[in-house]
Amino acid sequence: MGRESGASDIEIKVQGMRGDDDDLNTAVSPFPASQPPRRQPPPEHRPFQRWTPWLVPAFVLANLVVFAVIMYENDCPKTFLGDCVAVFLGRFAFQPLKENPLFGPSSSTLEKMGALDVRKVVHEHQGWRLISCIWLHAGVIHVLANMLSLLLIGIRLEQEFGFARIGLLYAISGFGGSLMSALFIKSSISVGASGALFGLLGGMLSELLTNWTIYTNKHLFTLVLIIAINLAVGVLPHVDNFAHIGGFVSGFLLGFVLLIRPHFGWVAQKNAPPGYHATPVKHKHKLYQYILWIIAAILLIVGFTVGILMLFRGVNANDYCSWCHYLSCVPTSIRSCSSSTISCLSSQEGNSLNLMCGGNKRARSYLLPNATEAQIEELCSQLCS
């Protein structure tokens, strides 16, 4: 019986303690009994810094402003005295489509504003045209297509790598595209940001190859799609595919130099929380990254040096590559891709310029008073193509 009485006493004490604990919990706990405390989600971890893009949008705005200035300077209704397109735009009206099918200015206006003209670069020491032509476009279709592609590719690259590296990649690739164009195309002027744009594509490809584990198929699909579209456009008449190729190769090599990332082992060690012991990593980059960096830097220096020397010595690269002109031209029944010199017979009668191609014997008259040599060569190139 003593054991039973002791058991009863203990039972009563335990019940009283439970009641006291419930009162204490009710008074101290800041959370209602029916609503347990919520766990805060862990902050998003980003191993690499994300940049706010501003340079690429600034490039787009600059190209659009420059195109507007060119159209204002062109003033088709006043200077052409012919059937301009969209005359309601006033001095912003476009040249006739038979002269410029891209809805833009005349070739003489582009040449005046800084288009790439090999003769002026070599014989008049106007090397600045290798850079200025990057900011010019031949028409509305040309500038809109390039700027859309620049936004699609450039914004992501600037977010990942910052404005300094992407700005250098854009400018140097554009120069590389202009240099290759000048070596292969001698008879007409060249304009456009396509070389710089393809440099961004090339840099993106090389960066994808060295860091392929952090990308999805969507990135690769976008890259391949834009490259395919622009290369397809590059073989059409009056489009400079050599600038595309030169810019792409320059950007591809620059990507190994400018867009190099530290490998994840080093990043994980650097960002490891206190108390966590990661595997020690001594080197920021892997060995193959250093090797690619050295090879790409050497090829860039040698390539640009040889190209500049060839250009200012007046070398025509077609003389050393008899098939290269097919990279920018697809021969058809109405279009020849012959790399032979184009020549035309020209005569000026008042406001009319009469041209006859020496190759296919085509003849045409243009309402063009006081035609310049650059205008005649450009129209001759169109007539003989």
**Which residues carry out catalysis?**
194, 244
- What 3-state class would DSSP assign to 236? coil
Quote the tokens at residue 292. 């690619």
189 to each of 27, 71, 129, 225, 239, how far by Cα in Å? 85, 17, 10, 28, 11
Q: How many CA atoms lie within 13 A of 257 on its CB side?
A: 19
C-alpha closest to that of 84 among 71, 96, 69: 96
DSSP string, 244-286: HHHHHHHHHHHHHHHS----HHHHHHHTPPTT--PPP---SS-
Contacts of residue 152, defined as CB under 8 A and 6 or more positions apart, other chains included, come to 222, 226
Quote the tokens at residue 191. 């304009």
Cβ distance 208 to 156 under 8 Å?
no
- Burial label for 30, CB within 10 Å (0-12, 13-18, 19+), is exposed
Q: In what order do the strands lie in the sheet with 363-367?
A: 344-349, 352-357, 363-367
Cα–Cα distance measured from residue 297 to residue 290, given in angstroms and rounded to the nearest whole number: 11
Residue 348 pairs with which residues in a beta bridge? 353
Quote the tokens at residue 242. 């050599």
Q: How many CB atoms lie within 10 A of CB 292?
A: 20
DSSP string, 179-233: HHHHHH--SS-B--SHHHHHHHHHHHHHHHHHSGGG--HHHHHHHHHHHHHHHHH
- Crossing angle for the helix pair 140-161 and 217-234, to the nearest 10 degrees: 150
